[in-house]
Every structure is written in C-alpha cells, then in structure tokens.
Amino acid sequence: MATRTLCSRANRIQTQLQTALQATVLEVEDVSYQHAGHAAVRAMEGGVANETHFNVKIVSPKFEGLNLVRRHRMVYELLSGELQSGLHALSITAKTPAEAANCAT
C-alpha cells in the first residue's frame, strides 16, 4: 500500500511541480471520482475513474510577469508525461505570492 502511494499520480504531480516551480503553496487534489460518468473514463479499461482528473493550486514566484495562458502552459508542459499516460484534465489555479497575499487579505 505504501509503495502504491509513493508512486501515485498525485505524488508524481506534486514532486514535478514542486521541483520545477519552487512553489510556496502546492495543493494537488485527485477529483477523479467526481468524473466517474465521463465518456473518457467509461472508455477506459474497467471504466473506473482512476487518477484522471486533478485540481492543482500553485503559488510560485516563477509565475511573475506571466499571463494566465502562459502559466497554465508552463504547468501543462511540466506534466506532459502524465497527460500522455492517462491524466485527462487539470483544473489549475496559478498565482504569484503577491496575488495570493492580496486574495488572503
């Protein structure tokens, strides 16, 4: 069980994003169960929603000066391997530390 947890897609996403973006905040949530009826999931082997849909919230100084499209593209490029191996959708919140602080106040 511990080995499976270490190799889970959520952990891989966490590691890849943390390493590349030096995030001050990084939350990765597997919400595949919410998309169990999705056509793409039904088409998968077993028809079980398994590590297909994730929410990621990232606060990173690497996003400074980048518009949202470029921030999201950066995240997608970092996770291109996952996207080619069953990751179906990502909901991304990408903020700079200043933006996150403004939201918090």
Strand order in the sheet with 25-30: 25-30, 53-59, 89-95
* Residues 101, 74: Cα–Cα separation, whole Å: 22
**Min CB(68)–other proteins separation in Å:** 5
Nearer to other proteins, 23 or 82 (CB): 82
Nearer to other proteins, 1 or 37 (CB): 37
Residue from 48, 73, 101, 102 binding other proteins (CB under 8 A): 73
- Enter the tokens of residue 67: 């518009």
* Residues 80, 6: Cα–Cα separation, whole Å: 20
Q: Does position 92 bind other proteins by CB under 8 A?
A: yes
Q: Does position 24 bind other proteins by CB under 8 A?
A: no
* Residues 24, 57: Cα–Cα separation, whole Å: 11
Chain residues in the site for other proteins (CB under 8 A): 35, 38-39, 68-69, 72-73, 76, 80, 83, 88-93
